[in-house]
Each structure stands twice: as C-alpha cells, then as structure tokens.
Amino acid sequence: MNAIDKRRLVSRVVLILSSISALIGLLFLFWILGVLILNGIESIRWDLFVYEGAPPGMLESGLKHALIGQLILVGCATLIGVPIGILGGTYLSEYAGNSRFGNFVRDISDIMMSAPSIVIGAFVYAVVVLPMGHFSGIAGVVALSIIMIPIILRTTDDMLQLVSPTLREAAYALGAPKYRVILSVVYRGAKAGVLTGIILGVARVAGETAPLLFTSFNDNFYSTDLMEPMASLTVTIYNYATSPYADWQSIGWAAAFMLSMFILALNIIGRLIILKRKGA
C-alpha cells in the first residue's frame, strides 16, 4: 500500500468515526427532545397561565408566578446587559483596537464566558445577597447581567471589526466625526451580527438555574418586588421536577417544555439572522 492509499484509508476511517459520533450525538439530542415534548405537551393546560403555585394536590395550581418572575428577571438583565455589552464591544473595536488593555479586556471576557454560572451565582451571593441580608430579585438580575455582558461584548467587538475599514475612511473623508461614523456607518453595517449576539445572550441567561438559586432563590407566589425573593421558571422546574408529587412533576414537565421552546425559538431566530446576513 503506497502513501496515497494510506492517506485515503485514514481519511475514510476518520470520516466514518466522525459520522458515527455525530449520529450518536443527534440520537441523544432527539431522544431528550422527544421525551420533553411528549411529557410537556401532555402536561400543558390553560390553568398553568392563570393560577399561581399551590400546595401538592390542589387543582388550581399553575406557573403564573414563575412565568412573570422569569420575564422580569430576564427583561431587567437585558436592559442592563445589552447597553453595557454593546458599549464595551464598541470601545474594544473602535478605540482600544489591538492595544494591550484591549486584548486584556478580551481575555477577561473570554474567561467570563467560559466560567461556570454557579461561580457567578456564588460571587453575587457574596457581594449582593449577604450585605442585603436576604435573597432578592435584584441579586438575580445582577447575576444574569454578569453572564450576559461578556457574550454581547465579544459578539459586538467581533461584528464591528468585520465592517470594512473603507466605509469608515469614506465617512471620515466626508467630514463626519468619529461618533457619527460609529452610529451611522459601523453600527448599520454590523446590526445583524450585533442583534444575533443579543438574542444568543438572552437565550443563554433565560435557561440559567444555578445563579438564581444563590440570588433570587424562589417564591411559590406571585411577586413583582425586586427587593424580595422572586420566582423564576428555571428554579421552579428544578423544585417541581425533583418533588415526589405527581402533579408537581407534571407542572415541571410543562414548564421545561415552555422554556425549551422559548430558547429554541431564540436560537432559530439568531441562526436565521446570520443566514440572511450571509445571503445579503
């Protein structure tokens, strides 16, 4: 067997092993989704959107408290994380460039993106929950914001750098100041990528449980007070799914189905935006 035949053989073996590995991964993925969909759809009912949490065995039990709490926590985290992330990414791309400080910030951002979310939760517990003396929704918002910011920051930095330098130079040649070039030229050229980063950041924090266990904790009743413990869909899923009561487990399946479909929809929207941008 000559060298060319050996390379072809190795290539075929690697291709076969890679294909088998991909199929195994897809098998488990569809298995998980299948179980989730079957149990989730079976447990979905209108009462879940009307009633708050109730003790086991009561028919008037739902997820109203958790759904609203999740929207408040993720919404407030988005209001904090998106402006900071976009402004930080803009600074790195348009002002810091490849300076030592800019690269240091990028490295820190990459580390934050890969840090376990439970570490973020423990950090916020130490700096927010302990000084306050109790769990609170505001602590949960801070934890989710810290997770979201580096995702949006790095995405914004990368997308802005992809904008052609000639567009900036043309705007400068027309006498536009730097801030106007950024707002009218750079942002416009990178808006699809930046929006995708925002969507992926929201999808990431929407499925977090560990940091909320340390911060907003949970509440089985409807509340909109950010200074008090607040219910969230993710922690409610954890509590209900691990309970010994069949009716709570059923509600947990329904909550997991709704949250998974929401995150799946956000990821699909993000992919569609990317494909549209590539097509343009």
Query: In 265-274, which positions are buried (b, 16+ CB within 10 angstroms) versus exposed (e)?
Result: ebeeebeebe
CA dist., res. 16 & res. 22, Å (int): 10
> Are 34 and 135 part of one and the same domain?
no
CB atoms within 10 A of CB 221: 12
> Are 242 and 129 part of one and the same domain?
yes
Structure confidence at residue 85 as a pLDDT band (50, 70, 90): very high
CB atoms within 10 A of CB 277: 16
Look at residue 274 in the predicted model and tell me its pLDDT: 74
> Are 34 and 101 part of one and the same domain?
no
Tally of domains within the chain:
2
Look at residue 279 in the predicted model and tell me its pLDDT: 61
> Are 128 and 206 part of one and the same domain?
yes
For residues 200-227, give the mean pLDDT: 91
**pTM: predicted TM-score of the whole model, two decimal places:** 0.89
What is the DSSP annotation of 147-198?
Answer: HHHHHHHHHHHHHHHTS-HHHHHHHHHTT--HHHHIIIIIHHHHHHHHHHHH
> Are 147 and 270 part of one and the same domain?
yes
For residues 222-228, give the mean pLDDT: 91
Look at residue 53 in the predicted model and tell me its pLDDT: 87
Is residue 169 within 8 Å of residue 143, measured between CB atoms?
no
CA dist., res. 90 & res. 102, Å (int): 11
For 110, the enclosing helix (H) or strand (E) is helix 100-114
Highest mean pLDDT among 10-14, 93-97, 135-139, 192-196 belongs to: 135-139
In the chain, % of residues over pLDDT 70: 98
Who's near 127: CB < 8 A, 6+ residues apart? Answer: none
> Are 14 and 130 part of one and the same domain?
no
Find, among 216, 229, 235, the residue nearest to 66 by Cα: 235
Helices within the chain (DSSP H only): 3-43, 64-91, 100-114, 117-124, 130-132, 137-161, 165-173, 178-181, 187-206, 210-214, 233-241, 246-279
* CATH assignment at residue 215: 1.10.3720.10
Structure confidence at residue 129 as a pLDDT band (50, 70, 90): very high
> Are 136 and 25 part of one and the same domain?
no
Look at residue 257 in the predicted model and tell me its pLDDT: 94
> Are 22 and 144 part of one and the same domain?
no
> Are 53 and 33 part of one and the same domain?
no
pLDDT reading at 87 higher than 70: yes
Q: Is 72 helix (H, G, I), strand (E, B) or coil?
A: helix
Instruction: State residue 62 phi and psi, 5-degree precision.
Output: -150, -160
> Are 214 and 246 part of one and the same domain?
yes
Structure confidence at residue 1 as a pLDDT band (50, 70, 90): low
CA dist., res. 55 & res. 62, Å (int): 10
Q: List the domain range (segments joined by +) for residue 31.
A: 3-43
For residues 64-69, give the mean pLDDT: 93
For residues 107-112, give the mean pLDDT: 92
Query: In 167-204, which positions are buried (b, 16+ CB within 10 angstroms) versus exposed (e)?
Result: ebeebeeeebeeeebbeebbbebbebbbbbbbbbbbbb
> Are 200 and 157 part of one and the same domain?
yes
In the chain, % of residues over pLDDT 90: 67
Instruction: State residue 159 phi and psi, 5-degree precision.
Output: -70, -40
> Are 124 and 11 part of one and the same domain?
no
Is residue 237 within 8 Å of residue 255, measured between CB atoms?
yes
Is residue 171 within 8 Å of residue 94, measured between CB atoms?
no
Highest mean pLDDT among 57-66, 125-134, 214-223, 260-269 belongs to: 125-134
